[in-house]
Amino acid sequence: MPGAMPALNRYVGNPVLSFVGRKLFGSPVRDFHCGMRGFHREAVLQLKLRSDGMEFASEMIVKASLAHLKMAEVPITLSRDGRQRPPHLRRWRDGWRHLRFMLLRSPQWLFLYPGLLLTAVGLVGAVSLIRGPIRVAGLLTLDINALLYSSMAATVGVQIVFFGLFAMAVARKMELQVSRGFPEHLLQLASRESTIGAGVILVIGGAAGALYAIFKWSHISFGALVPSDMMRITIPSVTTLAIGAQIVFGGFMLGFIEID
């Protein structure tokens, strides 16, 4: 009915949060927040709902979707609130709590996929700039500064990926339902000893690059260097060392989480 819901909640908050919930958890529910809920007592107790705030409404649907429970919606008409007191709802605080809850229950979207994207972008940029500067559309030139930022993006991306893997491993340990498919396969791959071995190889490669830079420096009797030349050796070397170390200790951390 007219005036039953604030325009910001009706056209932005509720639709956006419900859209995010449907995409993250494959839920058939079009409205995560409004309406009256009815449920089988035994089924909802098995969900082990824990939220103590407004995000309880989202938790019920999220966990029911992950548990593949049957859900249905019946459309209703929302009327104006006839009470005189102001509503308990705080749109920004409660909206953030709903969004935060959904993201925390979806570590693959919060950590894993953004981390993989950032890593891929960083690696592509770094590999492209190792050989030399790149002229973009005849307007600007990308050089060692862009190489440094690309390398940092790759390093941070790998760390974010491992945050996602740690969260998924802890969720599995706590018997919490998380997304299956590619994220689960990646978690199994990262938990293997071969992953630690790959990290060790990267550490050795990075150390070799650092030694090569020192060797080239020795050719000029350890004098002044041309930054644009040496940084194309040292930046990739340091990046490889950092990523390798993250993979090694990340693999050990995953093994630690899996200890019974």
Which structure tokens are listed for 132? 């030399």
Q: How many residues does the chain have?
A: 260
Enumerate the β-bridge partners of residue 134.
142
Q: Where are the domains of the chain?
A: 7-104, 107-257
Residue 202 near residue 251, CB atoms below 8 Å: no
Q: pTM of the full predicted structure? A: 0.81
Tens of pLDDT along 30-76?
A: 888 877 889 999 999 998 888 887 788 888 998 898 888 999 999 88
Q: Is the pLDDT of residue 178 over 80?
A: no
**C-alpha closest to that of 154 among 177, 110, 122:** 122
Q: pLDDT category, 204, cuts 50, 70, 90?
A: very high
Place of tokens 């709802």: 89
Give the Å distances, CA to CA, from 249 to 100, 133, 200, 255.
Answer: 28, 34, 10, 10
| Distance, CA of 231 to CA of 227 (rounded, Å) | 6
Which region among 125-129, 172-176, 184-188, 212-216 has the lowest average model confidence (pLDDT)?
172-176
**Whole-angstrom Cα Rg for the chain:** 25
Distance set, CA 23 to CA 26, 87, 125, 233 (Å): 6, 29, 30, 43
Q: What pLDDT, on the 0 to 100 scale, is given for residue 143?
A: 87
How confident is the model over 140-145, as a mean pLDDT? Answer: 86
- Per-residue pLDDT of 218-232, as tens digits, reads 877 777 767 777 888
The better pLDDT of the pair 196, 88 is held by 196
Label residue 136 by pLDDT band (50, 70, 90): confident
